[in-house]
Amino acid sequence: MSLRTVSIVALSTLALAGCQNGRPQKDEAAAAAEAASHVVGQEFEGNASHNVNSLSHVLASGSLSALLSDTDSDDLNELAADVQSSIYEGNKTSWRSSDRKTRIKVTAMTQNSTSLAEKVTILNSVTAPESLELLNVPYWIKSKSGVRIRTAPNTDSAIQDTFVLGTTFDAIGKTSNDWVAIGRKGVLVGYIYSPLVALTPYKETENGTDLNNFAGTLESKSGSVFDFTEENTTTLPLTVTRSCAMLNYTVTSNKGNADLSDDVCQQEDGSWALK
């Protein structure tokens, strides 16, 4: 099951006043969002690896800890990358240790979620999302014909630019109608249709994404849209719902076979921790 449990709702649309003792009362969710300090997508500097690193810690300290006690960091990170793929793309993954002695099949199942007040920074030319599914991981363009970047999550909106095959970028989140919100330097700069992109393979963006660096497939691109200043952006209050999931492992090993599981939950930066 893919991760589709994060919803971000612009609280400006929720500024409805209640009434208590004859006096208008400010909406509690809106007030909480105004006071929120965390801005979604601001972890772009470590975006390429922070989720894999957090899942490596989950694996090393959770139900697999005894089995993985002698596993080197490269093997552990490869397993964590498989777990990440299972969470975000609904894949049933199968990992095998480099010594070929251990095999682990992973299936992620979405469970409950928690809504909290946060914020997002967007370009002034971009429409604020009504809802998002929190991602905060690097994605890449898999469409051979390239993909248009739009100012709103629909085909009627203006085109910002076009990304070619292989371009990597920060995926802040996904809308309810299946568009991915694109981040550059922690700012939401446009939307791209979800079926045309995918989770970037582990290690390919260790030095940052193409869009953040204006590198690789973006070398010949115009910076007129994405080379912005703070004056071109606005920070809005939003309600963010973080997901929890059950990670199910089927283990085949020379130490024995087992069916194990861990309960994990998203943190505010999109990383994962044991529940």
Q: Tell me the pLDDT tens digit for each residue of 153-190.
A: 999 999 988 898 999 999 999 888 999 999 998 999 99
Q: Is 118 in a helix, a strand, or coil? A: strand
CA 266 to chain centroid: 10
CB 175 within 8 A of CB 181: yes
Task: Tell me what pLDDT residue 226 has.
Answer: 83
Sign, CA dihedral 211-117-194-199, equals positive
Task: Tell me what pLDDT residue 272 has.
Answer: 95
Task: Tell me what pLDDT residue 47 has.
Answer: 57
- Indicate the helix (H) or strand (E) that contains 11: none
Over residues 85-122, the pLDDT tens digits come to 999 988 899 999 999 999 999 999 988 888 888 899 99
Task: Tell me what pLDDT residue 131 has.
Answer: 77
Structure tokens at 201: 């393979």
Over residues 180-214, the pLDDT tens digits come to 999 998 999 999 999 999 998 876 666 778 888 87
Give residue 227's identity as a one-letter amino acid code: D
* Domain definitions of the chain by residue range: 44-112+239-274, 114-236
Task: Tell me what pLDDT residue 219 has.
Answer: 52
* Residues ≥6 apart with Cβ < 8 Å to 4: 110, 133, 174
Over residues 4-57, the pLDDT tens digits come to 443 433 333 333 334 343 434 445 544 554 566 789 888 766 556 788 999 999
C-alpha span between 115 and 243 (Å, rounded): 9
Under CATH, which number does the domain 114-236 receive? 2.30.30.170
- Of the chain, the end-to-end C-alpha distance in Å amounts to 19
pLDDT: which is higher, 8 or 84: 84
Burial of 161 (0-12, 13-18, 19+ CB in 10 A): buried
Q: Nearest 5°: CA angle at 40, between 238 and 234?
A: 65
Task: Tell me what pLDDT residue 147 has.
Answer: 92
Structure tokens at 28: 């509690």
What pairing do the DSSP bridges indicate for beta strands 233-253 and 8-10? antiparallel
Task: Tell me what pLDDT residue 19 has.
Answer: 37
Taking the C-alpha atoms of 93, 96, 102 and 104 in order, what is their torsion angle to the nearest 10 degrees? 0
Task: Tell me what pLDDT residue 268 has.
Answer: 87
CA distances 217 to 35, 205, 220, Å, are: 39, 13, 7
Which residues does residue 234 pair with via DSSP β-bridges, in sequence order? 122
